[in-house]
Amino acid sequence: MTPLTDRLDAWRNEGARGRLFLLGAGFVALYVAVDAVTYIFPSEPFAATPWNPQPALALALIVLGGAAFAPAVLAAAVLAETFVREGPGGGFGFIVASSGMGLAYVLTGLAVRSKTRIAGGELTLRDLTWFVAFVAVGAALSSIVYVGAYLLDGTLPQERATRVFLRLAVGDVLGLVGVTPLLVYLTRATLLPAADARRRAALRDFAVFVLALVLTLLLVFAITPFDEFRMSYLLFLPMIAFALRQGAAGAALAVPLAQLGVIISLYVLGERAATAFEFQMLLLALSLTTLYFGALAEERAHAADALAQREQQLREQQARLNQAQRMAAAAELAASLAHELNQPLSAIGTYAGACRMLAAGGEASRRELQEALTQVVRESARAGEFVRRMRDFFRTGAADVERTAPSDLIEAAHDQVRDRLGRHGVQWTSRIEPGLPAVAVDRVQIGAVLGNLLANAIEAVVAAPPPRAIEVRARRSGDDMVRIEVEDSGSGVALEVRDRLFQPMATSKPGGMGLGLAMARTIAQRHGGSLWLDATCSRTTFCLELPADDR
Amino acid sequence: MTADAAPTGDSFEGSTVYVVEDDKAVRDSLLLLLRLRGYAPSGYESAEDFLQLDALLRPACALVDVRLPGIDGLALQRRLKERHPGLPVIVITGHGDVATARSALRDGAVDFLEKPIDEHELLDAVTVALASDQRRVAQARDREEISARLARLTARELEVFERITNGQHNREIAEEFGISPRTVEVHRSRIMEKLQARRVADLFRLRFELEQTSPPVA
């Protein structure tokens, strides 16, 4: 169903004056009819009733449709006064009172329309507070005008003016506060949640609420031997419960029902008209409490929704970030693989070019040709070895874990870089704590990690002035870990690099294994260990911790 | 590829090609190929090693790998500009990223080769690089020769040479120095003789060549 507000706008744009007029006329008829039906307990002989829902029709029409409907509201007020209340006497008071009252509703409606978002179906605590404030002022204004006009007119005896004013004002507030939100929700078709499951839950809640309300009313008015007013606080229970469960829309539905229930109960009991004002105040407290609880529940639900949405967004963002990091790691890996393969390929190509020339050189260059061809074979073996190593490295499934002494790992890594250390005159020290437990690791993978750390260390010390030294230590850490530390005499890791050291693509250094510290850390973590840069040491120290295998 | 197995007969045979590459196999293969092509290649494992050379044999060029331990290829290229100005540098990279190439070429690299290195591209690049260095060397030699001849002029003769090549007449020069036109004439023939010039136009050419490559005389 299209919300009434949208349809009103459409009609206005189309210039469908006939429809607008029909709506106004329908409203006037409804207004008079509702006034007639709820014309109970008039404070005889004067026409002030304890519950006036018809002003809510006027207020809703102005809130939804704007000032254009002011004439309809004024007409309805005057007609109702004429036919329902049989406006006492034919004096000027009758016209002033009824049209003044209508004008007050129009002003209230315009204020609510401009200051709150109720017309859009919103009922937050802020909207509700403004709404209640405007309604209170508007009802007081309309009642002052009404009572004042009849007072001056002479129709209303002075001693009854206060009583009539209070009953009228509170009755108006009750009707306006109680019924307007429901009317707005009805025209916007947002009374029930859109989702099927929530709609079913809302209907079930509503059925339970109606049952509870009827039972409570029976308890309060029919069964108890006490004065019904004493037990009326029980009405708060079903109201608050329903409002908390179904929010502002639930409150908007519950309040007029409760008001209707109480008024009907009083009507049936009949003789309790004397206590009508006390019941008006009870209903006012009940209505406001319920609406506020409803608005509160609504805001809480909105906040929870927003939070859930935000969390969802964060999760998606995190997922995208992870994806990007994986891509970056893959790109870095691909670049380093390409580099490693390019070296032997390049050498093979150049050797082959040389071989072609040597072959043309005849017998004289035969020995050289053989040597060059040997190099070609060696380089292709090197490329193959690299491919095999990578395949091992990326082997899926369980890692090839075996019990290994940390000293073996360190020695194996040392062997790989021994030449380079010698060439650059790097002093090598390894200190292994006696009685160190073995570790359960994949030797290829952890070998690659140590190789990476040593390659980095060599680069760092070569770039710095001598004396150049690398020290590797292995010791127990805590009860169940073995820590291997690689310390170099290089000039250290720049502060701005430190933070993203372990991120993929962080290294732009030439040479090395090219596997990157990110990959090395992943391997360490996959072994149940960790890898980090020890910032407390004065020299660059990378720490690799692996779980000890005490057996 | 065409069968061009014979050594090139170009005029750069015997020229030095410095190869700075840390990977032994890549380096050795380049050295072998270049040697077979008639060049005199010389290999270095790191930028530091290469920078220890005080003087280079010219004409020459350098093949420099970007990824080097310690000082990398691009840094080496910048240092060579100060240490051996004019030495043509060919940069080699294992991963042809645009940023590295741009940086290398901006710093004056004559070419940029990707691994695996194409033999023809390599030899073309080396030929172009050596040609440019030879031009440079020849120019430097000419300039040195001219400078040597100029050095034989006396201070007054140098002044007169400058005035003549400014387009001044003998009479004007005589007035300026307070000497007779006849004396100016004597200076002129001495200058022609010392600078091995046959015509006055030759003097103008010498002056022009000097100013092309070095600050003005006097």
B100 CA: distance to closest CA in chain A (Å): 11
Confidence (pLDDT) at A289 = 94
pLDDT digits (tens, 9 = 90+) for A183-204: 888 887 666 777 788 888 889 9
Per-residue pLDDT band for A272 (boundaries 50, 70, 90) equals low
Q: Which two tokens stand for residue A308?
A: 């859930």
Determine whether the interchain pair B94/A342 forms a contact, defined as Cβ–Cβ distance below 8 Å: yes
A361 CA: distance to closest CA in chain B (Å): 8
Determine whether the interchain pair B5/A356 forms a contact, defined as Cβ–Cβ distance below 8 Å: yes
Q: Using CA atoms, how far apart are residues B67 and B90, in angstroms rounded to an integer?
A: 14
Q: Using CA atoms, how far apart are residues A12 and A5, in angstroms rounded to an integer?
A: 11
The per-residue DSSP string of B202-216 comes to HHHHHHHHHHHHSPP
Determine whether the interchain pair B25/A382 forms a contact, defined as Cβ–Cβ distance below 8 Å: yes
Confidence (pLDDT) at A65 = 85
Establish if A293 touches chain B: CB-CB under 8 angstroms.
no
> Looking at chain B, which residue has its C-alpha nearest residue A365?
B36
Confidence (pLDDT) at A271 = 52
pTM of the model: 0.52
On whether the CB atoms of residues A378 and B25 are closer than 8 A, the answer is yes
Confidence (pLDDT) at A41 = 62
Confidence (pLDDT) at B35 = 93
| Unique residue bearing structure tokens 């459409």 | A10
Determine whether the interchain pair A462/B70 forms a contact, defined as Cβ–Cβ distance below 8 Å: yes
A410 CA: distance to closest CA in chain B (Å): 22
On whether the CB atoms of residues B1 and B120 are closer than 8 A, the answer is yes
Per-residue pLDDT band for A491 (boundaries 50, 70, 90) equals confident
Determine whether the interchain pair B67/A342 forms a contact, defined as Cβ–Cβ distance below 8 Å: no
- Nearest CA to A441 out of A408, A416, A479, A418 is that of A408
B69 CA: distance to closest CA in chain A (Å): 6
Confidence (pLDDT) at B130 = 93
- Given a cut of 70, whether residue A392 has pLDDT beyond it is no
Determine whether the interchain pair B26/A348 forms a contact, defined as Cβ–Cβ distance below 8 Å: no
Q: Using CA atoms, how far apart are residues A102 and A83, in angstroms rounded to an integer?
A: 16
CA angle B137-B138-B143, nearest 5°?
100
Q: Using CA atoms, how far apart are residues B98 and A135, in angstroms rounded to an integer?
A: 72
Confidence (pLDDT) at A12 = 74
Per-residue pLDDT band for A398 (boundaries 50, 70, 90) equals very low
Task: For chain B, state the CA radius of gyration.
Answer: 24
Confidence (pLDDT) at A526 = 80
- Given a cut of 50, whether residue A490 has pLDDT beyond it is yes
The per-residue DSSP string of A107-129 comes to HHHHHHHHH-SGGGT---HHHHH
Confidence (pLDDT) at A161 = 84
pLDDT digits (tens, 9 = 90+) for A298-308: 899 889 999 99
Among the partner residues B22, B30, B117, nearest to A511 by beta-carbon distance: B22
> What is the DSSP-derived secondary structure letter of residue A44?
T
- Given a cut of 50, whether residue A509 has pLDDT beyond it is no
Confidence (pLDDT) at A285 = 92
The answer to whether the complex's ipTM is over 0.95 is: no
Selected for mutation to probe chain A from B31, B32, B63 (highest A CB count within 10 Å) is B32
Confidence (pLDDT) at B3 = 38
> Looking at chain A, which residue has its C-alpha nearest residue B34?
A354
- Given a cut of 80, whether residue A427 has pLDDT beyond it is yes
A421 CA: distance to closest CA in chain B (Å): 12
Confidence (pLDDT) at B144 = 84
pLDDT digits (tens, 9 = 90+) for A448-487: 889 888 988 988 888 888 889 999 999 998 888 999 999 9
Selected for mutation to probe chain B from A343, A421, A424, A468 (highest B CB count within 10 Å) is A343
Contacts of A370 in chain B (CB under 8 A): none
The per-residue DSSP string of A450-510 comes to HHHHHHHHHHHHHHSPSPEEEEEEEEEETTTEEEEEEEE-SS---HHHHTTTTSTT----S
Selected for mutation to probe chain A from B1, B19, B29 (highest A CB count within 10 Å) is B29
Q: Establish how many alpha carbons lie within 13 A of residue A338's alpha carbon, considering only the half-sphere containing its beta carbon.
A: 14
Exposure class string for A78-95: b at 16+ Cβ within 10 A, else e? bbbbeebbebbeebebbb
Establish if A346 touches chain B: CB-CB under 8 angstroms.
yes
Q: Averaged over A404-411, what is the pLDDT?
A: 91
Report which of residues A399 and A469 the model is more confident about.
A469
Confidence (pLDDT) at A135 = 94
Per-residue pLDDT band for B125 (boundaries 50, 70, 90) equals very high
B134 CA: distance to closest CA in chain A (Å): 25
Determine whether the interchain pair B115/A359 forms a contact, defined as Cβ–Cβ distance below 8 Å: no
Average pLDDT taken over every residue of chain A: 82
Q: Using CA atoms, how far apart are residues B122 and B111, in angstroms rounded to an integer?
A: 9
Exposure class string for A371-380: b at 16+ Cβ within 10 A, else e? bbbebbeebe
Contacts of A378 in chain B (CB under 8 A): 25
A381 CA: distance to closest CA in chain B (Å): 12
Per-residue pLDDT band for A274 (boundaries 50, 70, 90) equals low
Per-residue pLDDT band for B10 (boundaries 50, 70, 90) equals low
Confidence (pLDDT) at A110 = 92
Question: Is A433 buried (19+), middle (13-18) or exposed (0-12) by CB count in 10 A?
Answer: middle
Determine whether the interchain pair A343/B45 forms a contact, defined as Cβ–Cβ distance below 8 Å: no
Task: For chain A, state the CA radius of gyration.
Answer: 44
> Looking at chain B, which residue has its C-alpha nearest residue A350?
B29
Per-residue pLDDT band for A352 (boundaries 50, 70, 90) equals very high
Confidence (pLDDT) at A241 = 92
Highest mean pLDDT among A334-348, B21-35, B150-164: B21-35
pLDDT digits (tens, 9 = 90+) for A354-382: 999 999 887 888 899 999 999 999 999 98
A322 CA: distance to closest CA in chain B (Å): 25
**C-alpha A231: how far from chain center:** 42
Which one-letter amino acid corresponds to residue B189? S
Report which of residues A204 and A14 the model is more confident about.
A204
Contacts of A382 in chain B (CB under 8 A): 25
Q: Averaged over A140-147, what is the pLDDT?
A: 89
Interface of B with A (CB under 8 A): 3, 5-7, 22-23, 25-26, 28-30, 32-33, 36-37, 45, 66-73, 94-95, 115-119, 122
- Given a cut of 90, whether residue A131 has pLDDT beyond it is yes
Selected for mutation to probe chain B from A332, A336, A342 (highest B CB count within 10 Å) is A342
